[in-house]
Amino acid sequence: MTSDQSQSYIHRGELKLLTGNANPELAESIAKSLSKEIGAAEIEKFSDGEIKIIINESIRGKDVYIVQPTSAPTNDNLMELLIMIDACRRASAGYINVIVPYYGYARQDRKTRGREPITAKLVANLITEAGADRVITMDLHAGQIQGYFDIPVDHFTAIRLLSEYFKDQAYDKADEYVVVSPDLGGVRRAREFSDYLKLPIAIIEKRRPKPNVSEVMNVIGDFKGKTAILVDDMIDTAGTITNAANYLIENGAKDVYIAATHGVLSGPAIQRLEESKVKEVIITDTIYQPEEKRIDKIKQLHVGPLLAEAIHRINTYESISGLFEDID
Residues 187 and 203: beta-carbon distance below 8 Å: yes
Q: Binding site for D-ribose 5-phosphate: residue ranges?
A: 208, 232, 236-240
Annotation says 206 is catalytic: yes
Q: Binding site for Mg(2+): residue ranges?
A: 141, 183
Residues 18 and 67: beta-carbon distance below 8 Å: yes
* Spatial distance between the Cα atoms of 51 and 31, rounded to a whole number of angstroms: 25
Report the SS3 class of residue 96.
Answer: strand
Residues 247 and 223: beta-carbon distance below 8 Å: no
Q: Which of 194, 164, 159, 165 is nearest to 179 (CA)?
A: 194
Q: Give 117-181 as a 3 state SS string.
A: CCHHHHHHHHHHHHCCCEEEEECCCCHHHHHHCCCCEEEECCHHHHHHHCHHHHCCCCCCEEEEE
**DSSP code at position 36:** -
Q: Binding site: residue ranges?
A: 48-50, 107-108, 141, 183, 208, 232, 236-240
- List Cβ neighbours of 101 (8 Å cut-off, separation of 6 or more): 23, 26, 67, 69, 136, 137, 138, 286, 287, 303, 307
Candidate list 62, 121, 206, 226, residue with the active-site label: 206
- List Cβ neighbours of 306 (8 Å cut-off, separation of 6 or more): 156, 158, 161, 323, 327
Q: Binding site for ATP: residue ranges?
A: 48-50, 107-108
Instruction: Give CA separation, 183 vs 70, 187, 260, in Å.
Output: 25, 7, 14
Angle among Cα 246, 294, 223 to the nearest 5 degrees reads: 25
Catalytic residues: 206
